[in-house]
Amino acid sequence: MMSGREFDIIEQYFAGRVRSTGPGVLLGPGDDCALFDVPAGQSLCVSTDTFVAGIHFQDQAPGHVAASRAMGASLSDLAAMGASTFGFFLALTLPQESDTWLESFSSTIVSLADHYGVPLAGGNLSRGSLSMTLTVLGLVPAGRGLRRSGARVGDNIYISGSVGDAAGALSLMNRSLAVPDRLRVRYETPVPRLALGEALLPIASAAIDVSDGLAADVSHLCTASKKGARIDSARLPISDDLREAISADELLRCALAGGDDYELCFTAAPDQDAAIRAVSARLGLPITAIGTILVQPGLVLEGADAFDLDRPGYEHF
Amino acid sequence: MMSGREFDIIEQYFAGRVRSTGPGVLLGPGDDCALFDVPAGQSLCVSTDTFVAGIHFQDQAPGHVAASRAMGASLSDLAAMGASTFGFFLALTLPQESDTWLESFSSTIVSLADHYGVPLAGGNLSRGSLSMTLTVLGLVPAGRGLRRSGARVGDNIYISGSVGDAAGALSLMNRSLAVPDRLRVRYETPVPRLALGEALLPIASAAIDVSDGLAADVSHLCTASKKGARIDSARLPISDDLREAISADELLRCALAGGDDYELCFTAAPDQDAAIRAVSARLGLPITAIGTILVQPGLVLEGADAFDLDRPGYEHF
């Protein structure tokens, strides 16, 4: 479905500016479908997510923040499968035309598509409340992919980077307090851990990205694996930036219940620990062991008695 | 991203009810990505479309109408490429929970997924104004696919079924007039011409589905093919139902500018006419030659002097 105005906006802000070709892309935007050749020996990964103004980004967020958060979160789903990027689709719904917002949004989509080497293969523009749905395509070696369901009893639980920074930034923003730049970027421009995901393919037994909060996401992984977990709160990687900006009693809530960090949480057998340290060193990305997979279903949070496990994560709905 | 309420709604209305497995689906809903094995010798077709309440379906439309229109229109993009169905993704944004609406919507999604043999491989539920984004995956023989760009000078232009019925129904609805059932179903439950698309793969030179209106969609096809077209208005297949329900002076507007029919408009060399008649007979679906592809860019509408070519189609934006 393509109308005159829709066509003009796509021409002005996206066509000719955004990468729309790539290996395997036979036909990009502008036809009824895009066409791909999936390379032999590869399986296709697909994820779709909607980002709604006022829910997934702030109502008054500039276009570049909406674009960065949507792209970061969507590509993070590929990272959590250990996939490389193959293509993406953008369905954008706009209440009215704002050149400033569209220029900021589209130029960020263009630069991120380039940075991550992922062609924009198609899309859609509609009139309505501000939201966008991204569908991302990735590749993994045939039949592989880091699933949530592979955790085994005795596996270590690891987390990349630090947790709670994005939630800390959002908490400060919501109270109209000053937000340190290094926290702000963690919320506004999340970095999908694509290189880490690919490196973990032969190492990790299960993986998930931290989008709803670490406790909630570990619980999702445990449910899919039909296992339980113990997390040692004292081992959570909490950044100095967060410790300086957030009160002590809110720190644990940010780290355990705060979404939006898009770090990878994964499990691996203890004998993989050296391989994981090597990946961490190669990528220059801290990776911290924070707990263990248990037989008994449920999540045990050591050192976090005050934390309400019944509402462990951010609810998008 | 999956929260507690989102999980409950998906469990209650979709999980275990909808087809989520199929040939090539290695991993369906519930992980960070779905995983597919694309069969050797096949190319992947992908299309994404958003459907907004008040724009693409009426604000007060029951769930089954929203579901039928969204599924019909989305699968029609696969039909227009000559693709078979492979899988789909549903990103649903809901303002509040309505059991009645959700039950009506989900049961229709379930039955259409079954009817068209297309597994729901993943999705997303968000809070916001009512809308849904469907991403559909299909397959064509490697490197094939009916593109808009293949029309050659002298090709005949064909249209399946009849045109204008959906626009006629909508026109009557908007004036709160009685809508004959056979027109209403054309608007509320569009049928994607999947079997026709597949049959046309070795026959047609170019194809598009009629979503914005026949004149606009022929223009899109001509632009992509860098050609022009002459359409003979007297040959347009207008149903008796539409002739009886709509005034004579509105008929041509419905047939030429009315979207939502989701018939296939395609071009083929004149020597393919017998093959096209055979496909029509086999499928029990009328196919009508309505014009010719020309060298000179632009659209000539014979017998439709009063029709405003500057605003030939429905604008979704």
Q: Is the pLDDT of residue B55 over 80?
A: yes
pLDDT value, residue B308: 60
pLDDT value, residue A3: 55
Task: Provide, as residue numbers in chain A, all residues whose Cβ is less than 8 Å from the Cβ of B30.
Answer: 148, 224
Question: For residue B308, is it within any domain?
Answer: no
Q: Is the pLDDT of residue B309 over 60?
A: no
Residues B244 and B175 in one domain: yes
Label residue B1 by pLDDT band (50, 70, 90): very low
Q: Is the pLDDT of residue B90 over 80?
A: yes
* Of A107, A141, A175, the domain-final residue: A141
- Tell me the mean pLDDT in the region A84-110: 94
- Tell me the mean pLDDT in the region A268-294: 98
Q: Is the pLDDT of residue B312 over 70?
A: no
The closest CB to that of B49, out of A30, A124, A224, belongs to A124
Label residue B311 by pLDDT band (50, 70, 90): low
Backbone angles phi, psi at B229, to 5 degrees: -150, 150
Q: Is the pLDDT of residue B122 over 50?
A: yes
Residues B167 and B190 in one domain: yes
- Tell me the mean pLDDT in the region A114-138: 96
Mean pLDDT over each residue of chain B, to the nearest integer: 93
Percentage of chain B beyond pLDDT 70 is 95
Residues A137 and A162 in one domain: no
Residues B221 and B236 in one domain: yes
pLDDT value, residue B2: 47
> Which stretches within B125-272 are classed as H helix?
165-174, 181-188, 194-200, 214-225, 240-245, 248-257
pLDDT value, residue B306: 60
Kindly give, in sequence order, each residue whose CB lies less than 8 Å from that of residue A3, ignoring residues fewer than 6 positions away.
Answer: B212, B216, B313, B314, B315, B316, B317
CA distance A26 to chain B (A): 7
Q: Is the pLDDT of residue A82 over 90?
A: yes
Percentage of chain A beyond pLDDT 90 is 84
Task: Provide, as residue numbers in chain B, all residues whose Cβ is less than 8 Å from the Cβ of A91.
Answer: 48-50, 133
Q: Is the pLDDT of residue A305 over 80?
A: no
- Report the length, in residues, of chain A: 317
Percentage of chain B beyond pLDDT 90 is 84
- Tell me the mean pLDDT in the region A111-133: 95
Q: Is the pLDDT of residue B316 over 60?
A: no
* Of B141, B174, B203, the domain-final residue: B141
Instruction: Flag whether residue B69 sits within 8 Å of chain A, measured between CB atoms.
Output: no
Residues B124 and B167 in one domain: no
Question: For residue B317, is it within any domain?
Answer: no
Q: Which residues of A232-271 are buried (b: 16+ CB within 10 A; e: fewer)?
A: bbeebbbbebbeebbeeebbbbbbbbbbbbbbbbbbbeee
Residues B96 and B167 in one domain: no
pLDDT value, residue B10: 81
pLDDT value, residue A315: 46
* Of B141, B169, B201, the domain-final residue: B141
Residues A119 and A91 in one domain: yes
Question: For residue A307, is it within any domain?
Answer: no
Residues 71-90 of B with CB under 8 A from A: 73, 77-78, 80-81, 83, 87, 89-90
DSSP A52: E
Q: Is the pLDDT of residue A246 over 90?
A: yes
What residues make up the domain containing B130?
A: 6-141
Compute the C-alpha angle B50/B186/B63, nearest 5°: 50
Question: For residue A203, is it within any domain?
Answer: yes
The per-residue pLDDT for range B245-266, each reduced to its tens digit, is 999 889 999 999 998 999 999 9
Q: Are A31 and A123 in contact (CB under 8 A)?
A: no
pLDDT value, residue A96: 84
The CATH number for A112's domain is 3.30.1330.10
Q: Is the pLDDT of residue A316 over 50?
A: no
pLDDT value, residue B137: 98
Residues B121 and B154 in one domain: no
Q: Do A6 and B93 touch (CB under 8 A)?
A: no
The per-residue pLDDT for range B138-154, each reduced to its tens digit, is 999 998 999 999 999 99
Question: For residue B311, is it within any domain?
Answer: no
Question: For residue A1, is it within any domain?
Answer: no
Compute the C-alpha angle B139/B144/B145, nearest 5°: 65
Backbone angles phi, psi at B111, to 5 degrees: -75, -35
pLDDT value, residue B307: 65
Question: For residue B316, is it within any domain?
Answer: no
Q: Do A56 and B126 touch (CB under 8 A)?
A: yes
Q: Do B317 and A127 touch (CB under 8 A)?
A: yes
Task: Provide, as residue numbers in chain B, all residues whose Cβ is less than 8 Å from the Cβ of A209.
Answer: 32
Number of domains in chain A: 2
Distance of CA A190 to the CA centre of its chain: 7
The residue type of B73 is: A
Interatomic CA distance for residues A224 and A212, integer angstroms:
16
Report the SS3 class of residue A309. coil
Residues B152 and B298 in one domain: yes
pLDDT value, residue A121: 96
The CATH number for A259's domain is 3.90.650.10
Instruction: Flag whether residue A34 sits within 8 Å of chain B, measured between CB atoms.
Output: yes
Residues B103 and B170 in one domain: no
Label residue A230 by pLDDT band (50, 70, 90): very high
pTM score, whole prediction: 0.94
Residues B168 and B286 in one domain: yes
pLDDT value, residue B315: 45
Interatomic CA distance for residues B188 and B80, integer angstroms:
20
CA distance B39 to chain A (A): 9
Question: For residue B203, is it within any domain?
Answer: yes
Instruction: Flag whether residue A142 sits within 8 Å of chain B, measured between CB atoms.
Output: yes
Residues B24 and B137 in one domain: yes
